[in-house]
């Protein structure tokens, strides 16, 4: 499928879907790359350099958790300073204008919320929260950052590459010396409040997303390769129930055969152009 022909034929069709309202958005990491957060699987993804830590690795032992928290602490600034890009802002405007009925995101960066889509369903959780695996307490990540800074006063970020899950590659000697914080309530094991690879999305969250797709008129996929089943299942469900599926992303996806329309071009400019007629925002695409 040629990218230019997809663009020329697809943009008006996606605009028609939006004009009817009731569109449910499913967003992925490709929507956040323009905010400086890399993507594991997109055209410029870093998956080939290092696979993300799995849930099984994290819970298996202290060494794995030390590695995760050292790298995450070093790379925290990348996610913390990231700001919503034109794509996130266009989605928020379309939501406010009543063209988008709901937003489901596979991203853990919180940028939909920061852009104004306060009710976005974060399918895989959020990096701005920490959960205790023992007592279940959920606390802000900023509080943990402060504790880690106190526990590791001489820690210096010597990372070489920032990864999509907010961490960086670190030399082994820096990881080995890192002190991990435990839960301040019970002394238990702390984990970012995100769904790791190998971990299941909470059942009630999945069911809520299915309901949103059922209640919507169409599904619009933004910046996702649909490589993992947690997102692909909603595309399959929408297609099975006869709802139009539009995909706007760079490169191919696992859901292309189910799409009624595909656009292969940058998300920010495309969504800005799509939003302009409905929100009065200038078209810069």
Residues catalogued as catalytic: 124
Helix or strand holding residue 253 (H, E): none
Count of alpha carbons within 13 angstroms of residue 171, beta-carbon side? 7
Residue 179 DSSP one-character state: P
CA dist list (Å): 17 to 94, 184, 216: 12, 49, 11
**Cβ–Cβ contacts within 10 Å for residue 83, how many?**
11
Residue 98 DSSP one-character state: T
- Cβ-in-10-Å burial (0-12, 13-18, 19+) of 15 comes to middle
List beta partners, residue 194. 125
| Dist CA 159 CA 173 (whole Å) | 12
| Vertex 236: Cα angle to 233 and 237 (nearest 5) | 85
């Amino acid at each position: 499928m040629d990218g230019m022909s997809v663009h020329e034929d697809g943009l008006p069709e996606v605009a028609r879907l939006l004009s009817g309202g009731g569109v449910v958005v499913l967003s992925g990491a490709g929507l956040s790359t323009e905010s400086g957060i890399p993507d594991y699987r997109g055209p410029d993804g870093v998956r080939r350099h290092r696979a993300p830590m799995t849930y099984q690795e994290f819970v298996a032992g202290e060494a794995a958790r030390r590695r995760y928290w050292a790298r995450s602490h070093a790379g925290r600034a990348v996610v913390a300073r990231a700001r919503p890009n034109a794509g996130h802002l266009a989605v928020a405007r379309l939501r406010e204008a009543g063209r988008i009925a709901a937003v489901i995101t596979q991203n853990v960066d919180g940028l939909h919320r920061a852009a104004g889509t306060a009710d976005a369903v974060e399918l895989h959780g959020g990096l701005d929260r920490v959960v205790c695996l023992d007592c279940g307490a959920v606390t802000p990540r900023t509080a943990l950052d402060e504790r880690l800074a106190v526990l590791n006063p001489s820690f210096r970020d010597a990372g070489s590459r920032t990864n999509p899950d907010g961490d960086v590659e670190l030399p082994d000697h820096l990881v080995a010396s890192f002190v991990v914080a435990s839960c301040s309530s019970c002394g238990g094991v702390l984990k970012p409040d995100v769904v790791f690879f190998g971990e299941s999305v909470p059942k009630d969250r999945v069911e809520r997303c299915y309901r949103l797709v059922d209640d919507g008129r169409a599904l619009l996929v933004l910046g996702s390769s649909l490589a993992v089943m947690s997102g692909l299942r909603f595309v399959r469900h929408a297609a099975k129930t006869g709802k139009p599926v539009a995909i706007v992303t760079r490169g191919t996806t696992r859901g292309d055969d189910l799409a009624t329309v595909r656009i292969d071009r940058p998300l920010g400019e495309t969504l800005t152009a799509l939003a302009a007629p409905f929100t009065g925002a200038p078209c810069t695409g």
